[in-house]
Amino acid sequence: MTGARRSAGLVVVRQFGGQWRCLVLRAYRNWDLPKGTPEPGEQLLQTALRETAEETDLSVLTLPWGDEYRETEPYAKGKVARFYIALSTEGEASLPVSAELGRPEHHEFRWVSFATALKLLPPRFVPILRWAQSMAEGNPQKTPA
């Protein structure tokens, strides 16, 4: 997609007490998923993993669902965000200080159920979350990427 503004991120999932949870981040009043813009020459999956590590300190992530992804509809002047699903089984999430900002990029993180994530995140994330939930729970939706 030449000319389009791109970002890439992860739906980070983890089981707590046998229940799937996904990681959401809050900056001011806005809830989001870990994501960011690619550096020159960087593949979008690399961007998603790097940004998640920078924003949450979670660097030990696996991709048991492979490199499948879903993208948001264009928003904010045509930006499109691509999301992959990553499994986090170890390490504690935190909000590290951004070297550029001199403070953490986000104010809060939470491990929440998919139902809660659907309520917190903007509507553009609904298809992404529903897809991630179906994959995590072992009932993959057969929808085109």
pLDDT in tens, 15-61: 999 999 999 999 999 999 999 999 999 999 999 999 999 999 999 99
Using CA atoms, how far apart are residues 80 and 107, in angstroms rounded to an integer? 24
Distance of alpha carbon 20 from alpha carbon 130, whole angstroms:
13
Full set of structural domains in the chain with CATH? 6-136 (3.90.79.10)
Residue from 10, 8, 9, 17 nearest 113 by CA: 17
**In terms of Cα–Cα distance, which of 108, 66, 85 is closest to 21?**
85
Rounded alpha-carbon distances, angstroms, from residue 73 to 70, 82, 114: 10, 10, 20
Nearest C-alpha neighbor of 35 from the set 59, 52, 12? 52
Higher pLDDT pick, 4 / 93: 93
Specify the pTM.
Answer: 0.92
Largest separation between any pair of C-alpha atoms in the chain: 44
Average pLDDT, the chain: 92
